[in-house]
A = this chain, B = another copy of it.
Amino acid sequence: MRPSKRDELVEKALLVFYRHGFHATGMDRLVAETGISKTSMYKHFSTKEDLILAALALRDKQFRRWLFRRMEQLGSTPRGQLIAMFDSLKEWFAQEGFQGCMFIKAAAEYQKSADPIHMKSAEHKSILISCFSDIAKRAGAADPDTLACRLMLLKEGAIVAAQFGITKNPAMDAKAAAKILLADALGQ
């Protein structure tokens, strides 16, 4: 089967991009850090942008799978799962290589809203919002979209705060705030 080498490339490239940034990562560095020849890279992806898009697609899949699985493990009810999101975030922030959100960083480096990389990043956030909205609906929210938006604000804020390291425990700050917003939206 052919997927192995290509998938290996995308996985390793994802780590390198995450650690060093997009513009700051040259193809030669990718060759050095992935151990995959430049020829192979350009056989699988004809431009650096294509490789970045593939890395973002993988990250989107990885992150969503991880987050929603963890939320289900930590929360037994829809409401509990929404709160558990912030416990999950706390675990993420505590991971050794944590350096913020891949998509925020991608959008920061590729700013034009028409840029494919920017669009891919925005798409990830949109998907998350609609997933949150689904859970909010199951939790009985009268206006699940609004609740999802508010939780998203806390989540993105917590990620940014964690990236800067300006507050001690942004995930738990966000969790406390989320509980208040959930009480307002769902009662008690």
A109 to B126, CA, bound (A): 23
Mark out the residues of chain A between 1 and 23 whose CB falls within 8 Å of any chain B CB in the assembled complex: 19-21, 23
* Interface range on chain A (Cβ under 8 Å from partner): 35 or more
Q: How far is the CB of A29 from chain B (nearest CB, A)?
A: 14
Copies of this chain, tallied across the complex: 2
Cross-chain contact of A161 among B21, B146, B153, B161 (Cβ < 8 A): B153
Interface residue SS majority, chain A: helix
Q: Which residues of B contact A108 (CB under 8 A)?
A: 21, 100, 104-105, 108-109, 163
User: Which residues of chain A have a CB within 8 Å of any CB of chain B?
Assistant: 19-21, 23-24, 99-100, 104-105, 107-109, 111, 113, 121-122, 125-126, 129, 146, 149-150, 152-161, 163-167, 170, 173-174, 176-177, 180-181, 184
